[in-house]
Structure 1
Amino acid sequence: MSSSEAVPVDGREAAAAVERPVASIAARRARPSAGWALLGSELSVMFRRWRTWAMLGALAAVPILIAVAVRLTGHGRGPAFLDQITSNGLFVAFTALVVCVPLFLPLTIGVVAGDTIAGEASHGTLRYLVIAPAGRLRLLAVKFAGCAVFCVAAALTVAVAGAVIGALLFPIGPVTLLSGAVVPLGDAAVRMLLIALYIVVSLLGMCAIGLFLSTLTDGPVGAMAATAVLAVVSQVMDQLPQLDALHPWLFSHYWLGFADFLRAPLVWDSFVSNLWLQAGYVAVFGALAVGRFLTKDVLS
């Protein structure tokens, strides 16, 4: 072979040698943005689904039904804060949050968390996601973050819908707290948002449990049902005095502890205890989800 023929080959090899590290550097730089893009895509898909809006609509209907019922009857007897709605419409939001925490919110979170991985597998899209630049670990993180965002949307839906319908049907003004102190409307609104934050934190452990269960199956219905059932079982166990020793370790133990935010001054003890408990559940079941998902054969 002549030297004139060898030069182009060597030139192509040299160019390829230069391009390979450049491409590798570009890929490494693209990885963080790939994670954010995947999160944006996850949230976009979640909030384009009719199911998501149907669940949020059902949650918004709870405070509306409470307010209409009290308005028609003229009095409130039942859950906490119900008897104070006629004097201050902001208590519609507080009452709705108390009603939704034990059942309605866990049901909706169970649906979203149980669908995280199993839903992708049932639709045949999981294998494409795991070979994407984001990778399996980042995919799990994005799915958990998406579930957490839904928790925020769900809690705010109940709180905002309750405040709006309460303002429309009842007088709004300074709020008398559980400690007897009276705070202005702005302070009460901040406390309502703190309660919503408390509820979001309370549901993070359940999100992690649902994520783990979702990695165990390719059928989302089973993971959804198991997550919701565990929430009910945890609350039932928390009511049994024979299981006192287990109560502080149950992920639902502090779910109704947000009443501390309706005292003056603010009491943070329950929030801190709840935060540590939920962080433990996220760590344990997050690790289990990672261990399962990294060794899972993805066929669909």
Structure 2
Amino acid sequence: MSLSETTPRAQGDLEQRRARRSVGFGFFLSELGLLFRRRRTWAMLGALAAVPILIAVAIRLTDGGDGRGPAFLDRITQNGLFVAMTALVVSIPLFLPLTVGVVAGDSIAGEASASTLRYLLVAPVGRIRLLLVKFAAAAVFCLAATVTVSLAGILIGVALFPVGPVTLLSGDTVSVAESLGRSLLIAVYVTVGLLGLSAIGLFISTLTDAPVGAMAATVVLSIVAQVLGQLSQTEWLHPWLFSYHWLDFADLLRQPIEWSSFGENALLQLAYVAVFGALAYARFSTKDILS
């Protein structure tokens, strides 16, 4: 076979691959658009933004209170930038997992409940691409939710309290600009920590056509993991829980930055994503949808 005979075929294959990539990226953008056009999504982000606002207002009205409460609370009156960090400590155990559980649990089950799942699987979308796009959209929401808490905390902190150089947990002092950079890094850390829960929610969502059930199961699992993480009787299990490193972002507030927790958190979440992503595909690939 001559080169002139094979070239058109190769060009055709290349065009098909480009078309598939274009469809995949367009589908991802469409999924993001659908997610962030929902009133429910903005209601959840609004509720998350209210957490740092309530904390800041309460501290402002009580002049700092009695010093009891979550981490960083006693530093807010000296520097408003600590509002964001305190809000993350408050949001991580319940509020962030709750919103992530709603989005991840609804990913597949919501489409099945609305009878739109079969139309999404029309070629060239396919089941693997659908799962990848749904998980990627949930990951974007994790980032949006975490940044919402941090940004709202920074803004309300600047509005109600003095702002200046930040004294880190190691005793070193960094500029406002560097502290804002570390706040962004902490948001990324928390986002990575929520990816394992997103993968679990995606898997549960493939098991049922009832989105409420998938959402509830995902949220309950996040609570169970945190309860187990507090029991000394299950200490052997703690390093394997997806919530184990959720509150270890304090290591990013040291000079120099302690990166070990970030790496351990990322590896743990990657393991959860791999395992539950594979389970989701195994379940979804054999699920009767088109009949």
TM-score (norm 2): 0.94
- Secondary structure in 2 matching 1:285: helix
SS of structure 1 residue aligned to 2:233: helix
Aligned counterpart in structure 2 of residue 205 of structure 1, from 192, 196, 210: 196
The count of aligned residue pairs is 282
Task: Give the counterpart of 2:21 among 32, 38, 56.
Answer: 32
**CA positional deviation for 1:21:** 10
Partner of 2:211: 220
Deviation at 1:29, TM superposition (A): 3.0
Q: Deviations over 1:119-158 (max 9, x none)?
A: 0001110000011312110010000000000001000000
Give the corresponding residue for 2:4.
none
User: 2:120 — aligned with what?
Assistant: 129
Counting only pairs closer than 5 Å after superposition, residues 96-175 of structure 1 correspond to structure 2 as: 96-175=87-166
What is the alpha-carbon distance in structure 1 between the residues aligned to residue 249 and residue 150 of structure 2?
13
Q: Sequence identity of aligned pairs in percent?
A: 67
Superposed CA offset, 1:31-59 (max 9, x none): 01110010000000000000000000000
CA distance in 1, matches of 2:171, 2:70: 19
Q: CA deviation at 1:162?
A: 0.2
Verify: 1:67 aligned to 2:61, yes or no. Answer: no
SS where residue 208 of structure 2 aligns? coil
Moved over 4 A (4+): 19-26
Q: Matches of 1:139 and 1:96 in 2, distance apart?
A: 34
User: In the TM superposition, what whole-angstrom CA distance separates every residue of 1:210-254 from its partner, at most 9, and x where no partner exists?
Assistant: 000000000100100000000000000001111111110000000
The equivalent residue for 1:4 is: none
Gapped runs of 5+ residues in structure 2? 1-7
Mapping of 1:14-29 within 5 angstroms? 26-29=15-18
Aligned letter for 2:174? Answer: V
For the residue of structure 2 that corresponds to 1:47, the secondary structure is helix
Q: Secondary structure at the residue paired with 1:62? A: helix
CA RMSD after TM alignment: 1.6
The one-letter code of the counterpart of 1:142 is: V
How far apart, in 1, do the equivalents of 2:51 and 2:207 lie?
A: 33
Which region of structure 1 is more displaced relative to structure 2, 24-33 or 42-51? 24-33
Residue 245 of structure 1 aligns to a residue whose secondary structure is coil
Please point out which of 72, 75, 78 is paired with 1:84. 75
1:210-249 → structure 2 map (5 Å cutoff): 210-249=201-240
The 3 A distance-change label for structure 1 pair 20 and 194 is: closer
Equivalent position of 2:260 in the other structure: 269
Decide which structure has the larger Cα Rg and report it.
1
> Which residue type is aligned with residue 63 of structure 1?
P
User: 1:7 corresponds to which residue?
Assistant: none
Paired with 2:114 and 2:22, the residues of 1 have a C-alpha distance of 25
Give the TM-score normalised by the residue count of structure 1: 0.91
**Aligned mates of 1:250, 1:24 — CA distance in 2:** 44
The answer for the alignment partner of 1:10 in structure 2 is none
Pair 85,108 (structure 1): closer, same or farther in 2 beyond 3 Å = same
CA shift in 2, pair 1:133/1:68, >3 Å: same
What 5-or-longer segments of structure 1 have no aligned partner? 1-18
The aligned amino acid for 1:173 is G
The within-5 A match list for 1:37-56 is: 37-56=26-45
Letter matched to residue 179 of structure 2: A
